Every structure is written in C-alpha cells, then in structure tokens.
Amino acid sequence: MTAQAIPFDHARLDRLMDEAGIDVLLATSKHNVQYLLGGHRSIFFDYMDAMGLSRYLPIVVYPKGKPDKAAYFGHRLEGFQKEVKPFWTPEAQTNSSGALDTMGKATDYLRRSGIPNKRIGIETTFMPMDAGAALKSAMPGSEIKDALVVLERQRLRKSPQELAMLKTSSEKVIDAMLAAIAQHGPGSTKAEITETLRREEVNRGLTFEYCLIAAGASHNRAPSPQRWEEGDVLSVDSGANYHGYIGDLARMAILGEPDAELEDMLGEIETIQRAAFKPIRAGAMGGEIYAAGEALVAKSKQHNNMEFLAHGMGLVSHEAPHLTNSGPVPYTDEDAHRPLEAGMVISVETTLKHPARGFIKLEDTIAVTDTGFEIFGEGGRGWNRGGTAAMR
C-alpha cells in the first residue's frame, strides 16, 4: 500500500488520533466514510438507512500509523460498486446486512488483525445503540472514545478536488435559483417555486436538500400555499450537494421594482458581507471575520433585527472551522482563536428580519487561499426580478 493510493492526508489523521489518545478509528457516518474512502457512497443507501429490522451501517477501520491494516465493512449490495471501483483499503468486505452483522465483522477483524485496540475512537452521534453495545461486548478491554472532533479537524482543509466540487455545487445552486425565480410571477406559491428550484437543481446534476423560502412581509421560511404577489420580496436560501459537497447560498428576488428603502437594505447587507470577506486569508485569525461583520451590524439602524453568521462548509453544513459559540447551531469557537488555513471553506451570511418589509438575506461561500479568498457562486447578488422568463 503506497501513500499515493490513500485518498486523504493520513499523516495528519495519525497526528490527530495521537493527540486524542486513539489507537484505531471506526468511522460510521456516511460523510466520513465517503471522505475516508475517497468518494464512495452506497448507491442503495444514499438517501435512506432503514432496511428490514435493522439499518445500513458502513464501517471504515483505520489504525493509527498502519494504513496497510485499514479495512472497510459494507453492505452486500456494495459489492457491485467494489467490482467497478475497488476500495483502497487492503481489507474490504461487502457481505453484511444490518448494523449488528457489520459490527460483528468489524470486531472480528480488530481481534484477528493484531492492531492495537485499547483505545477505540467512534462517532458516538452516528453509532446506533445496538451496534455500540455489540462493540463494547466484543472488546471488553478497550476504552471507547468519541472521535467526532478528530474527523472534523481532519476534514478542515479541503483538497483541490474537494474545492472544485464545492465551487461547482455553489455555482449550480445560484444558476438554479435564478432560473426558478425567472419562471415565477404574481400568484406563484412558495411551494411551487420550491418545486421548480428542486427540478432546476436536479437537472444541473445536484442532489436537492432543502429550500428555506420567505415571501412578502412574512418571516416564515417553509414552502407553503402563500402566494408571491406584485411588490413582494422573496428570500430563497437553498442547499444542494454535488457528490456530497454542499452548495448553500441565499439570494433575493422581487416582483416589480425595488424602492429606495429595499435597495438600501440589500445594499447594507452586501456591504456587511464584503467587509466580512475582506480579512479572510491564510494566517488571519478566524475571529477577524466576526469582528468585521458584527462591527457593521452594530452600527446599523436595523441592528435589532439583523443577524450575522459565519460557519464552515464541506460534506457537512456547519462543519469546522467553528468561529462562534453563540450562533443558531451550538458548538465551540476554537477556530476564532486560531489562524485560518488555505483550503478552509466558510459560509458567510447576513440576515435582516424587517418587521414590515420581510426577510432579506445574502449568504455566500468563501474559500480561504494563501493570498486571500475566492467566492464560490457570486452571481445574483442584487434584486433579481421574478417572472422574467415569461416576458421573453
């Protein structure tokens, strides 16, 4: 097994495991299995987990410093994929069914392979109780530790291939948004616009995940029978993925022409976004992003109705870097106190929940580079006009 055949920086993972006191890692989440296997996702279980009386549970076994002893245990239907594209792991078994079956094969391998297993790292959030109990029973002398942070830190810096997929997903989401907005005029419902967006994203090779959509003066962002009428603003915030890598952006639209107040509001949000982008570069402290964005929010006459947020993006929304401990998704803010690194990807969003004019927001995806930053999916930042396709 050569280092070139391993699809991630295994020396980095070894260091992270050593720092966390983990001898061997058992990854079981779909996103971390995909990451560690270099892009593999089960074609049968891409959307679902449940199967009969159990569930799909893929397991990547990675021993610290011993990639030649790495293994993958998957469902029997993944055997077809293994024939087409063999896994890099020296041991690869695709003959399991439910969670207990897979865990049994993984623990059998741990015992007979001779690799150190006194300290086993698992993803506690992504380990079903029956499989976790089976692991403890099979390895009574081992300490079970949570490896969530280890894997978060491992995925922190994106490879050029990962960055390309994030850029593609972001650009395709923007294109789909603009196409959906153009197709809908007065009387279109939020549910109809969402369905059009879903189709537009799928037609561009994306997997649709969600659409948070608000219209008129309402701040409710669920698809619904509410109609988009002349003069109403429309906020579209959508997430879709390209081979697992998420494009998550928000843009604004209107039926008709925006008045001066609306132009000023969106212009102020754009100014805050750009100010938050400015300090982004490798070596800058992560907290500088919040310092720049929140300083302008505090000065705004709309500050009581405005929110600023920056979070990591990749295979998971709100993954590392973690820049705040006070946002809507609770986590620690360790990356606010550390230098940014090239390859990090950050979502920056500014939201105005105006009591009379509605929900106004921009969200952008920014990649950290050695010399600054790159915006993924920069189009459609102003007031996009609805119904323009019907007028052509």
In tens, the pLDDT along 329-367 reads 888 999 999 999 999 999 999 999 999 999 999 999 999
Residue 3 has pLDDT above 50, yes or no: no
> Secondary structure of the chain: what % helix, strand, coil (to 5)?
40, 25, 35
The pLDDT value recorded for residue 391 is 56
Specify the 3-state DSSP secondary structure of 185: coil
DSSP letter string, 253-309: EESS---HHHHHHHHHHHHHHHHHHTT-STTSBTHHHHHHHHHHHHHSTTGGGEEEE
Shortest CA distance to 122 belongs to which of 140, 142, 95, 101?
142
Residue 392 has pLDDT above 60, yes or no: no
The pLDDT value recorded for residue 361 is 98
The domain ranges of the chain are 3-154, 160-391
Report d(CA 103, CA 97) in Å as an integer. 10
**Average pLDDT of span 118-136:** 98
**Average pLDDT of span 32-48:** 96
Report d(CA 387, CA 392) in Å as an integer. 9
**Average pLDDT of span 216-235:** 98
The pLDDT value recorded for residue 223 is 98
Fold of 160-391: Creatine Amidinohydrolase (3.90.230)
Residue-averaged pLDDT of the chain: 96
Burial 247-274 (b: 16+ CB within 10 A, else e): bbbbbbbbbeebeeebeebbebbeebbb
The pLDDT value recorded for residue 1 is 42
Q: How confident is the model at residue 2 (pLDDT cuts 50, 70, 90)?
A: very low
**Average pLDDT of span 30-41:** 97
Q: φ, ψ for residue 6 (rounded to 5)? A: -90, 125
**Average pLDDT of span 165-171:** 98
Q: φ, ψ for residue 248 (rounded to 5)? A: -135, 105
- Whole-angstrom CA distances from 42 to 78, 81, 85, 120 are 6, 8, 12, 25
Report d(CA 11, CA 34) in Å as an integer. 18
Token couple for 87: 């896994």
Q: How confident is the model at residue 5 (pLDDT cuts 50, 70, 90)?
A: confident
In tens, the pLDDT along 90-102 reads 999 999 999 999 9
**Average pLDDT of span 198-215:** 98
**Average pLDDT of span 64-72:** 97
**Average pLDDT of span 255-270:** 98
Report d(CA 256, CA 239) in Å as an integer. 26
The pLDDT value recorded for residue 238 is 97
The pLDDT value recorded for residue 327 is 78
Residue range 3-154 in CATH 3.40.350.10: yes
Shortest CA distance to 87 belongs to which of 44, 37, 45, 41?
37
Q: φ, ψ for residue 186 (rounded to 5)? A: -55, 135
The pLDDT value recorded for residue 330 is 82
Token couple for 327: 């946002």
